[in-house]
Amino acid sequence: MTQQALVIGAGVAGPVAAMALQKAGVDAVVYEAHPEPADNVGAFLTLQANGVKALRAIDAEHVVTGLGFPTPVMRFRSGTGKPLGELNLAATERDGTVSVTLRRADLYRGLCDEALRRGIRIEHARRLVNARSVPGGVEAEFSDGSKVTGDLLVGADGVRSRVRRII
């Protein structure tokens, strides 16, 4: 029998976690508190080379291909243009993988689309309010009163993680 994971949070981390679990043979459903997808949230971010390699490990590197631009080096300047420093973002990657700068919204949309393409369900308007151990796994309770059970609970719900506070 296949294990079932309850992934809380459908930002960037949730769909990636669900795809990684699926690759490991675990079914996952992603539950997101917000009622709508976050298609236009955020500005730019730099996905470090190890993040690109993590996407490669779950056969999802293509999601970022063409969305941004390679960023092997970041240069910092003052408001007057004076050089302040430089950070080499590819120095430790022997295989040539470099960081990529892209819009957060594009990364989010691409990862959600890829998860959906792989048959992973993403349910919106499912705000986690409680979780508890039950025989054989975990039960998650949502603000609408509904409950789901699974074998494991994965918190991918950000810096102010509800999962972390509950457990």
pLDDT (tens digit per residue) in 8-28: 999 999 999 999 999 999 999
Q: What integer is the mean pLDDT of 135-139?
A: 96
Number of CB atoms found within 10 A of residue 1's CB = 4
Q: What integer is the mean pLDDT of 154-163?
A: 94
Residue % of the chain over a pLDDT of 70: 97
Whose tokens are 């976690």? That residue is 17
Burial of 75 (0-12, 13-18, 19+ CB in 10 A): exposed
Q: What integer is the mean pLDDT of 39-59?
A: 88
- CA distance readout (Å), 9 to 29, 80, 91, 108, 123: 10, 41, 32, 12, 10
Instruction: Report the distance separating Cα 154 and Cα 31, nearest Å.
Output: 10
Q: For residue 21, what pLDDT is reported?
A: 98
Tell me the pTM: 0.88
Phi then psi dihedrals of residue 64, to 5 deg = -95, -10
Residue % of the chain over a pLDDT of 90: 75
